[in-house]
Amino acid sequence: MKFHILFFALSTLLLTNVSFAQQGDTNVGFRLGSGAGLSVKYMCNDQAALEGILMYRRGGVRAVGLVKAQFEIGRSNTYFFIGAGGHAGVNRLFNPERPTYQVIGLDGIVGLEYHFPYQNLIFSVDLKPMVEILQDWNFSGNSGALTLRVPLN
């Protein structure tokens, strides 16, 4: 029961941050990869961002919160980013043949992001290693994805 309250609180916090964001500083989109789902990114300033991801993984749902630093590579509209955060969720939620279990863990992220100059489109590729600390110390280094976002204007 405590886990469900924590999951609801984290999800509400992520959505609340998005609703108070200024227009043009927030972009939303889809994340496709080993952890597929929705991504919302809020730019705090030119080099710092908050990202919330609601994703499907291992037959369940996870909410991920990340703090990211990003740096433009030259003047190419390409950015390198690195960050860290955490996740909470439930595995095997949609598999009635196996028992569900809750997960809480730590996440890292590293990747590249490209801003298409005249299309209002942002494309990124990343690697997001994570370690789960609630059930057992399960490390996963292969959680990468492609993300396509559009700015909210």
Q: Are 43 and 34 in contact (CB under 8 A)?
A: no
DSSP assignment of 115-134 equals EETTTTEEEEEEE--EEE-S
Residue 107: strand pairing partners: 85, 130
DSSP state of 42: E
Q: For each of the domains in the chain, give its residue range(s) and CATH number, in order of start.
A: 2-151 (2.40.160.20)
Per-residue CA distances from 138 to 59, 62, 96, 134 (Å): 16, 15, 22, 9
Whose CA is closest to 49, among 86, 10, 18, 11?
A: 18
At residue 117, the pLDDT reads 86
Tens of pLDDT along the chain (153 residues) come to: 444 444 454 454 444 444 333 334 899 999 998 888 999 999 999 899 999 999 987 778 999 999 999 999 998 999 999 999 999 998 877 777 878 888 899 999 999 999 998 888 999 999 999 998 876 677 787 788 999 999 986
pTM for the model stands at: 0.79
Q: What is the pLDDT of residue 153?
A: 66
pLDDT (0 to 100) of residue 9: 47
Single-letter amino acid code for the residue at 116: F
